[in-house]
Amino acid sequence: MRKPRQDSVSDDALRQFVGYHIRRASSVVQSDLASTLKPFELRMLTYSALVLIAKNSGLSQSQLAVAMGIERPNLVMIIDELEQRELVVRERDPSDRRVYALRPTLAGQELCDEAMAANAALEARVLADLDAAARDALIAALSALHSPKPT
Amino acid sequence: MRKPRQDSVSDDALRQFVGYHIRRASSVVQSDLASTLKPFELRMLTYSALVLIAKNSGLSQSQLAVAMGIERPNLVMIIDELEQRELVVRERDPSDRRVYALRPTLAGQELCDEAMAANAALEARVLADLDAAARDALIAALSALHSPKPT
DNA sequence: TATTGTTATACTCTATAACTATA
DNA sequence: TATAGTTATAGAGTATAACAATA
């Protein structure tokens, strides 16, 4: 009995898991957003950092790293890049000269607004088939997932 | 006027985007699954490959790469690893000696079943707060997202 | 010529240890 | 001593170009 060569590949065994759908959706959404941010010469990381700085002017690099869920060392080059492009500034905090207070420049504020508008436009297209209720239900369901870590 | 130091960091500006919630959920789900697979000495990539091979015995490396959404060169070391652990075998296809037909060994089948059972148990815990309808709605909503690429 | 699998390589994202300067 | 930022480094994951064997 000859074992036949596979004609088409089925991912049914993986599609039974919700996590598979979430990871695939995330991958699509992430690559779409990366394309959207490209004209602004922003990557996911520089975009997230710029938005958080613009909306939380004066925060420290440590605080930003926590908010972004990355380690402090990995933030250094991200801030370097934003600073070299004069989108944010590192201000010494006179009351604690170890920390930098991160603040957006005017250009940083403007680029942040433009990039967020593009992000919103992208979302509108991606979510075109979902009404507001379905959109809220999606967010609620995603938030209802709980990590079984503390078990 | 002194600019105040930021006390707490708000991610409201990012949380307005559904993509942000999807990427965060994906990150949580992915790290949970990685922990679950650790006892089997499987990574996300070796797990996906093993399941797809076990459920599509005889497929080629090119076919598998397409199914996994990665480039062919990146699959080589993944299959090397599974082959060295004797979980899958590379069989020469006599009718086309360029291709390898990938097949699971008995041990590969068994490990696949055990890992998938652990994955299912994990999902049950993660989705504990969602009823079947909400679960299906979540998958439907994720599938309804469409990539605006062809635009 | 085109395709399968492979090698070599590079880039991004992530993580850890150790340093400096301040506190 | 502890913390903020930094440097150096290493590990994944991913992408492209080019090669040998085969079609």
CA of A11 to C1' of D22 (A): 29
Q: Which of A21, A55, A58 sits opposite B3 (nearest CB)?
A: A58
CA distances (Å), origin A26, targets A143, B30, B44, B103? 15, 11, 15, 30
pLDDT band at B7 (very low <50, low <70, confident <90, very high): confident
pLDDT value at B148 more than 90: no
Q: Which of A4, A13, A23 sits opposite B116 (nearest CB)?
A: A13
Residues of A in contact with B95 (CB under 8 A): 5
pLDDT tens sequence for chain A (151 residues): 445 567 889 999 999 999 999 999 999 999 999 999 999 999 999 999 999 999 999 999 999 999 999 999 999 999 999 999 999 999 999 999 999 999 999 999 999 999 999 999 999 999 999 999 999 999 999 998 877 654 3
**Helix residue spans in B56-149 (DSSP H):** 61-68, 72-84, 106-126, 132-144
State the average pLDDT over residues B60-89. Answer: 98
Backbone torsions φ then ψ of A31, nearest 5 degrees: -75, -35
State the average pLDDT over residues B142-151. Answer: 71
Nucleotide nearest to B63 (CA to C1'): C4
The helix/strand/coil state of B89 is strand
> What rounded mean pLDDT belongs to chain B?
93
What is the secondary structure of A8-40 as a DSSP string? S---HHHHTSHHHHHHHHHHHHHHHHHHHHGGG
The three-point CA angle A66-A72-A75 to 5° equals 95
Cα–Cα distance for residue pair B90/B97, rounded to 1 Å = 12
Burial label for B38, CB within 10 Å (0-12, 13-18, 19+), is: exposed
State the average pLDDT over residues B9-33. Answer: 96
Residues of A in contact with B42 (CB under 8 A): none
Contact B9 A64 (CB under 8 A): yes
CA nearest to nucleotide D17 C1': residue:
B73
Element (H, E) at A134: helix A132-144
State the average pLDDT over residues B74-103. Answer: 97
Question: Does residue A75 contact residue A90 with C-beta atoms inside 8 Å?
Answer: no
> How large is the angle between the packed helices A44-55 and A18-37, nearest 10 degrees?
80
Q: Does B55 touch chain A (CB under 8 A)?
A: yes
Cα–Cα distance for residue pair A44/A65, rounded to 1 Å = 14
The helix/strand/coil state of A91 is strand
Question: Does residue B61 contact residue B79 with C-beta atoms inside 8 Å?
Answer: yes
pLDDT band at B40 (very low <50, low <70, confident <90, very high): very high
- pLDDT for residue B145: 87
**In strand C, which positions have an atom below 7 A from any protein CB?**
3-9, 12-18, 21-23
Q: Does A106 touch chain B (CB under 8 A)?
A: no
pLDDT value at B129 more than 60: yes
- pLDDT for residue B147: 72
Strand partners, A102: A59, A90
Q: Does A84 touch chain B (CB under 8 A)?
A: no
Structure tokens at B39: 């006892």
Q: Does A107 touch chain B (CB under 8 A)?
A: no
Q: B1 vs B57, which has greater pLDDT?
A: B57
- pLDDT for residue A149: 54
- pLDDT for residue A13: 97
- pLDDT for residue A5: 61
Q: Which of A21, A60, A130 sits opposite B139 (nearest CB)?
A: A21
